[in-house]
Amino acid sequence: MRRALFTALLMGSLVGAPGLTSSPASAQTEDVQKARTYFNAGAQAYEAGEYLAAIQAFDQAYKYSPRPAILFSAAQAYRRQYFVDKNAQHLQLAIKNYRSYLSKVTEGGRRADAAQALSELEPIAARLAASEPSGDPDAPPPPAPAPMVQKTRLMVSSQTKGTQVQLDGGKTKQAPLIAEVKAGKHKVSLSAPGYFPEEREVQAAEGGIVAVDVRLRPQPAKVRIDAENGAEVRVDGRPVGVTPLNVPLELEAGTHLITVSHTGREPYSKELELSRGEQRTLKVDLDVTTQRTVSYVVLGTGVAGLLTGGVFTFLALRQESQAQDIDSSRSTENISRAQVSAFDDHVQKRNDFRTAAVISYGAGALLTATSVLLMSFDDPKVSFDQRERTPKAPTPEEDAPKPSMEMSAAPFWAPGSFGAALHGRF
C-alpha cells in the first residue's frame, strides 16, 4: 500500500453553527469549550491507538458542537478499530460517518479523503454481506446488531509537556491518561517538573466519558541578589528594588538581563538563562569607579588644605600674641632696639601666616566642593558592551501535544473558530 504523509487545515466559523445559533452566547461558549476538550482528548486517544476511547470522545464532542470535521475524525477512528477487531458494526459506522461528512461538506474540506476511504470500505462491506448465508427467502430478516455497550472512561490530558497523571492515588503515568473506571467520584493529580501540581475531582457517569484537560501553571525561577546595600536592581531594564531585597526575585523561565548599579560603583550586568522552578544566588561585587577614586583623592587633598589653613591660623595668632606682648611693654617702659626688631618680625610673620591660611582655606574649600561635585555626578549607566553573557541552554517548552491522526484528527481551535490539523498515513 502506498504511504503518504500530508498536513492540511480545516477551518469553520462558529457563527451560524448548526444547533448553536439559538443558544445564548455564554452557553454557546461553554459548549464550544467542552467540545474542544473532548475533541483534544479523542485526538490524543487516537494517537495512542485507543480507538474505542477516541470514538467515545469524538461522539461526545459532536454532541456539544456538531462539526463535520468531528464526524470525519470519528469515521477515521471507526475505520481503524474495524481493522483491529474486524467488528462489522465498526465498519458500518465508519461508512455512515464518512457519508454524513460528504453530505454536510459539499465542496473542499476532506471530501477526497472521505471518498477514498469509502472506496476502500464499501467493497469490504459488500463482500461481508454476500458471504452471509441466504437461508430461507421467506425467513424474517436477521435482527439488527445490538448497540455497542459504552464503557465508563476517564481521559486526562494536558497541554504541558512531560505531565504525569495519578488517578485515585494509584501509579503515576505519563499523560494522556485513558482509563476505564467505575461510575462515581474520582481524584486526578497532575504534576510536571518546573510546574505547580494540580488536582481535579471528577464525577464519572455509568457508560459515559469524562475528559479533563489541564494546563499546569509554570513555577517561576527565583534569583537572590547578594550585593552591597543601596544598590538599584533592574530586570530587563525594569527597576525591581534596592538592596537588600527581602525576598528573591521571581522571574519567568527564559533569558533575563539582571543589572545592579550604585553611585560610585561600576555597574554590573549579566544575562541569565533560567529554568522553571530554578533557584539561584547572584553574588555581585561592585568595583569603585575611577571618578569616585579621584573624588576621594581630591576630597582628601581639600581636607588637608583646610587643616593646613588651621595650622597657619594658629601660627598667625601666636605671632599676633607675641607682637602684642612687646607692644604692651612699650606703653609702660622703654623697649630696646632688639625688641622693636622682634616686634616687626612677629608682625611680618603674622601677616605671612595669615595669607597662607587664607590661601589654604580657599584651596581646601575649592577641592572639597570639587570632590562633592564629582561624587554627585558619579552615576554610571549600563551599556550593551558591559553585559556579561552566559551560554544559552535550551529550556523545556510548553508545547501542546500534536497528535498525528490519519487524515483528520489533529485538532485546531481558536477563539471564534474550530478546525482540525490533518496529519496521517494511508
Q: Check residue 343 and give its pLDDT.
A: 83
Q: Check residue 249 and give its pLDDT.
A: 92
Q: If you search the block for the grid coordinates 525576598, which residue do you land on?
A: 247
Say if residue 245 is in the same domain as residue 235.
yes
Share of the chain above pLDDT 70, in %: 79
Q: Is residue 349 part of a domain?
A: yes
Q: Is residue 245 part of a domain?
A: yes
Q: Check residue 361 and give its pLDDT.
A: 87
Say if residue 198 is in the same domain as residue 234.
no
Say if residue 283 is in the same domain as residue 310.
no
412, β-bridge pairs: 419
Distance CA 165, CA 284 (A): 41
**Chain CA centroid to CA 264, Å:** 35
pLDDT along the chain (426 residues), means of 10: 33 36 63 87 88 90 91 93 91 92 90 91 89 58 57 87 91 89 93 92 88 90 92 90 91 92 88 91 88 85 90 90 81 77 86 89 88 77 53 44 39 41 39
Q: Check residue 146 and give its pLDDT.
A: 52
Q: Check residue 374 and give its pLDDT.
A: 78
Say if residue 182 is in the same domain as residue 192.
yes
Please give the C-alpha separations between residue 107 and each of 99, 101, 112, 181, in angstroms, as whole numbers: 13, 11, 9, 41
Q: Check residue 135 and give its pLDDT.
A: 52
Q: Check residue 92 and give its pLDDT.
A: 92
Contacts for 389 with CB less than 8 Å, ≥ 6 apart: 270, 271
- Residues 199-246: pLDDT tens digits? 999 998 888 888 888 889 999 999 999 999 999 999 998 999 999 988
User: Around Cβ 388, how many Cβ atoms within 10 Å?
Assistant: 11
Q: Is residue 316 part of a domain?
A: yes
Say if residue 14 is in the same domain as residue 56.
yes
Q: Is residue 1 part of a domain?
A: no
Say if residue 256 is in the same domain as residue 275.
yes
Q: Residue 250's closest CA among 224, 215, 232, 229?
A: 224
Q: Check residue 7 and give its pLDDT.
A: 32
Q: Is residue 394 part of a domain?
A: no
Q: Check residue 147 and give its pLDDT.
A: 56
- Residues 27-84: pLDDT tens digits? 778 888 888 888 988 888 898 888 998 998 999 899 999 989 999 999 999 999 999 9
Question: Does the predicted model carry a pTM greater than 0.85?
Answer: no
Q: Is residue 102 part of a domain?
A: yes
Cis amide prior to 396 (ω within 30 degrees): no
Say if residue 319 is in the same domain as residue 369.
yes
Say if residue 296 is in the same domain as residue 285.
no
Say if residue 34 is in the same domain as residue 78.
yes
The CATH number that applies at residue 181 is: 2.60.40.1120
Say if residue 17 is in the same domain as residue 105.
yes
Number of domains in the chain: 4
Say if residue 230 is in the same domain as residue 209.
no
Q: Is residue 74 part of a domain?
A: yes
The CATH number that applies at residue 97 is: 1.25.40.10
In this structure, what are the phi and psi dihedrals at residue 223, rounded to the nearest 5 degrees? -120, 120
The range of the structural domain enclosing residue 274 comes to 221-289+381-386
Q: Is residue 392 part of a domain?
A: no
Say if residue 209 is in the same domain as residue 294.
no
Are 67 and 107 spatial neighbours (Cβ–Cβ below 8 Å)? Answer: no
